[in-house]
Chains A and B, each alone.
Chain A
């Protein structure tokens, strides 16, 4: 590797050729501030439009200050990152950005987690010396995401996520100069676009321009209503991230404290989406074996590979972009919706509460779940199976508002019957987890033999597209995995072109899977946080007594008492769904 030497702040630094000043400085322990720049190293995601000019540095011999994020180091370069010229320039840039930014920080959804706010604080900005016209734009509220473009600083991170990583292509910079904004085509609202509500734009937005639709008040009202029985389910990825909101290290598991906190919030029953994840495996795993059996039996019309269907962002993606392939994904509903359907039938009957008096709340690492639970097909007579879905971040607010000292909570268990789960369910929270859980169950059901090794290490990892062949006692099952919708698109295109060799493919919309979801605590560009959450998820699985979905005693009981068997008529009615063509055709006359 060719290296070069340069001088940064009187320190000689040796770096690989092609390294930017920003990275070279970082290697030398010098932290140059950035605003539009974003680099999630482990996920290979980078945004560097060099638009904000916060990272400017002085390079000796150059007339203008250079943006460190895009300027490559040169042999013998002398760089100063904090002399008076640089500091003044940076402050001016920041003040100019602030001069076109609302100053309602106290009541902003991002108060305390806003990168622009922290920077103003770090820079000691006490007065904005520039006054002038402020750009204004209408607010856009969708089922999951709010766009408040007055707070947009044109960093273009959301655009990069939406176009390059997810390839959904909803957001683009439109108009010109002072009038430019990031918006969907024809400046339609998000709910009239192909938005999947994956929330990755929200996850990277440095300010309050993109936030989630907050349902915490609906939850508080439901909990205060004496006529309602309010139950809660919490997704696997939440327990691996919630602790961060209370100052704990990334990767801290807070499963027990989470259950305790939910109980103290006043939920009548504290359940676990993991229970429904086990149920998903029963249905989806059986469906896979059914399709495989028919295929191997000679029926070549069976749609293979089967694609997983737990992720509502992914479901919206193929409904919009590949509607002609909508018979390929599993018909199994997501765990959130399976939980809701079982809660408002089986469980409601058990406790003798009418459907309309039972409120189901879900805690999700996801913003698309807010949209999913509002879909028409997931309800009965206008009463939704899941009433409100709130994010990990919203739950943290709720806990803080309710005067609960999270740190000192004891570890408690979930309630039964919808709170018991296995290790297979926990790993739904990470890329590779759903298909591993499915393999654990499908393998034992297919071969009739106990697995010698429960861990399928070949399915794990953080690479965007992974493949592995799992041996089902002589039947080589070819598995594909993709996370991030842009990578999902590649596998879908292969299927469309008839090039796919897989039997089953797991897809999750967010990079990393649900642990990197749009509703999780903000990572502020630090991808090691997502990796730490993944480790935590596998730790939780390894510590579970039961690690295969079909061995969950309450799942066994649910089938005995209520559902019959997987893919039964009642299962089809309550636990399966169908998909829609959401691509819009132009009118041709």
Chain B
């Protein structure tokens, strides 16, 4: 595993998060949630700091991180792409849209392109079922996406 050097200011922020939860073991999930907000993901080093602050084993922290699909140990890309797999999007062909993203970006769901530009993820319903199938890039929503439109969406960001 690559050793990622974390900035001291972000680590300080993380320690403060732990402190805001009184360094309670029982607050692990809340702490992880905030930590992922700070770093974008939960690398091993972050989990080690949390374990130390909450006085629990790193194995236990890792166990929780790997149990919940919300938590990720892989860094997200500069432009995180999420494809909705809710019922409406699904029946209107979201799967084919995913396949197209996978083909063009050459990554699987949950992965990030080697240049760090794009990461690919699935989510369940963003409440825009009328626009199905829906794709999010960062905070921007794209509606009624067809497989042949994927190319253009990627091109917008691939500068």
Interface residues of A (CB under 8 A from B): 163, 169-176, 183-187, 193, 586-589
Contact = CB atoms under 8 A, between A and B. Distances in A.
Given A186-B44, A588-B6, A171 B59 contact: yes
Nearest to A168: B57
Most chain A CB atoms below 10 A, which of B3, B4, B49, B60: B60
14 contacts: A171-B59, A172-B57, A172-B63, A176-B69, A185-B57, A185-B61, A185-B62, A186-B44, A186-B62, A587-B3, A587-B45, A588-B5, A588-B6, A589-B8
Contacts of A185: 44, 47, 57-59, 61-62
Contact of A186 (B1, B56, B57): B1
A589 B59 contact: no
Contacts of A186: 1, 44, 47, 58, 62
Given A185-B47, A589-B5, A176 B58 contact: no
Contacts of A589: 5-8
A587 B1 CA distance: 13
A171 B60 CA distance: 8
Contact of B63 (A173, A193, A587): A173
Nearest to A188: B1
Interface of B: 1, 3-8, 11, 44-45, 47-49, 56-63, 66-67, 69
Most chain B CB atoms below 10 A, which of A175, A186, A589: A186
B5 A174 contact: no
B56 to A, nearest CB: 8
Question: What does DSSP make chain B's interface, helix, strand, loop or mixed?
Answer: helix
A586 B49 contact: yes
B8 A175 contact: no
Contact of B45 (A171, A173, A175, A586): A586
A284 B7 CA distance: 46
B60 A172 contact: yes
B67 A163 contact: no
A183 B67 contact: no
Contact of B59 (A170, A586, A587, A588): A170
Most chain B CB atoms below 10 A, which of A174, A187, A586: A586
Contacts of B49: 586
A176 B47 contact: no
Contacts of A183: 59
A589 B45 CA distance: 12
B67 A175 contact: yes
Q: Name the 8 nearest CB pairs between A and B, nearest first.
A: A169-B57, A172-B59, A172-B63, A185-B58, A589-B5, A185-B59, A185-B62, A174-B63
A174 B62 CA distance: 7
A163 B57 CA distance: 8
A173 B47 CA distance: 16
B2 to A, nearest CB: 11
B8 A588 contact: yes
A163 B61 CA distance: 13
Contacts of B1: 186
Contacts of A172: 57, 59-60, 62-63
A586 B49 CA distance: 8
A171 B45 CA distance: 18
A589 B61 CA distance: 23
Contacts of B11: 588
B62 A587 contact: no
A586 B15 CA distance: 14
A562 to B, nearest CB: 45
Contacts of B67: 174-176
B60 A169 contact: yes
A171 B59 CA distance: 6
A274 to B, nearest CB: 37
Contacts of B44: 185-186
A168 to B, nearest CB: 8
A177 to B, nearest CB: 9
A169 B58 contact: yes
Nearest to A163: B57
Nearest to B62: A185
Contacts of B61: 185
Given A172-B63, A185-B47, 11 more contacts: A169-B57, A173-B63, A175-B66, A175-B67, A185-B44, A185-B58, A193-B59, A586-B45, A587-B4, A587-B6, A588-B11
Contacts of B48: 586
A176 B5 contact: no
